[in-house]
């Protein structure tokens, strides 16, 4: 199938084999904006529509998360070196980071990169760890990768370097930058992002009280994390989360499907 980009202004074609992927990803953009995780017209999400990661959807340059429609998502080839010379070229950092990730980490089918408030605060302090102080923070016990080699805005060598820092985890705290979350489905990645920002919010707010933290034992934290793993590995849960997001949007801003 040729690699094309759907022109802005057209409605998404339901005969498009990637129509549901487009709608799901557009829904995640819209909800991320509602949750105040967006940043102007920056940040980017992608989803590989092929298992090898070579073809992927990503947001077009200069489009606010709250306005993105399914038809506007670009379908790119991670190995096409001419991408940035085309009229529909994406944001340079989106191309650099996401093409590198999809080429080098094909199991990362969905990649969400953004600068949400609390995760970015965590990425900006000396101790970037997330201690197990509640159920949400325990979800990420020993399950978050840390990148401490920030060297600019994710272009060129920086993008390639990032592909080796995720390891086997699904969350990467990008020091001095933001966060990257991956998942084998759009629903799984979005659920991971949602709970990680909630966990960071709890932790940063707890620090603001100036009171001692109630940190549970490693044994309890690991037990709870494994319970989370079992829970979210059941795809019905993460799919239900995204399904409810779509139902809200269907009722309140259905143009996301266009």
- CA–CA gap between residue 238 and residue 170 (Å, rounded): 14
- CA–CA gap between residue 22 and residue 30 (Å, rounded): 12
The answer to whether position 157 is within a domain reads yes
Query: CA nearest 141: which of 57, 31, 226, 60?
Result: 226
CATH number of domain containing 206: 3.40.225.10
Domain extent for 111: 19-252
Q: Which residues contact 232 (CB under 8 A, 6 or more apart)?
A: 188, 191, 192, 238
The answer to whether position 1 is within a domain reads no
CA angle 235, 191, 42 (to 5 degrees): 140
Q: pLDDT (tens digit, 9 = 90+) per residue, 138-175?
A: 999 999 999 998 887 756 677 788 888 988 999 999 99
pLDDT over 50 at 2, yes or no: no
Read off the pTM: 0.92
Q: pLDDT (tens digit, 9 = 90+) per residue, 77-112?
A: 999 999 999 999 999 999 999 999 999 998 899 999
The answer to whether position 10 is within a domain reads no
Residue 13 banded pLDDT, cuts 50, 70, 90: confident
Number of structural domains (the chain) is 1
The answer to whether position 5 is within a domain reads no
Which has the higher per-residue pLDDT, 151 or 113?
113
The answer to whether position 57 is within a domain reads yes
Of the chain, the percentage scoring pLDDT greater than 70 comes to: 95
Q: How far is CA 94 from CA 114, 141, 198, in A?
A: 11, 29, 25
The answer to whether position 177 is within a domain reads yes
The answer to whether position 2 is within a domain reads no
pLDDT at residue number 4: 38
The answer to whether position 105 is within a domain reads yes
Q: How far is CA 172 from CA 87, 90, 103, 105, 179, in A?
A: 32, 23, 18, 13, 6
């Amino acid at each position: 199938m040729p690699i094309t980009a759907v022109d802005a202004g057209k409605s998404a074609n339901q005969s498009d084999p990637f129509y549901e992927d487009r709608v799901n990803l557009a829904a995640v953009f819209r909800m991320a904006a509602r949750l105040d995780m967006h940043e102007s017209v920056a940040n980017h999400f992608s989803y590989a529509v092929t298992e090898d990661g070579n073809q992927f959807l990503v947001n077009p340059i200069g489009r606010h998360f709250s306005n993105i429609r399914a038809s506007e998502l670009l379908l790119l080839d991670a190995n096409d070196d001419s991408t940035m010379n085309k009229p529909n070229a994406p944001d340079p950092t989106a191309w650099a980071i996401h093409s590198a990730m999809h080429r080098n980490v094909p199991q990362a089918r969905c990649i969400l990169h953004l600068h949400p408030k609390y995760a970015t605060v965590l990425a900006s302090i000396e101790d970037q760890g997330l201690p197990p102080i509640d159920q949400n923070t325990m979800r990420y016990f020993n399950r978050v990768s840390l990148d401490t080699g920030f060297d600019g805005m994710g272009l060129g060598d920086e993008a390639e370097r990032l592909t080796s820092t995720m390891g086997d985890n699904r969350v990467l705290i990008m020091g001095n930058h933001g966060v990257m979350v991956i998942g084998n489905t759009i629903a799984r990645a979005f659920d991971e992002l949602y709970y990680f920002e909630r966990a960071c919010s709890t932790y940063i707010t707890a620090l603001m009280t100036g009171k001692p933290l109630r940190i549970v034992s490693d044994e309890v934290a690991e037990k709870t994390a494994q319970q989370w793993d079992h829970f979210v590995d059941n795809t019905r849960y993460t799919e239900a989360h995204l399904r409810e997001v779509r139902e809200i949007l269907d009722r309140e801003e259905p143009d996301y499907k266009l």
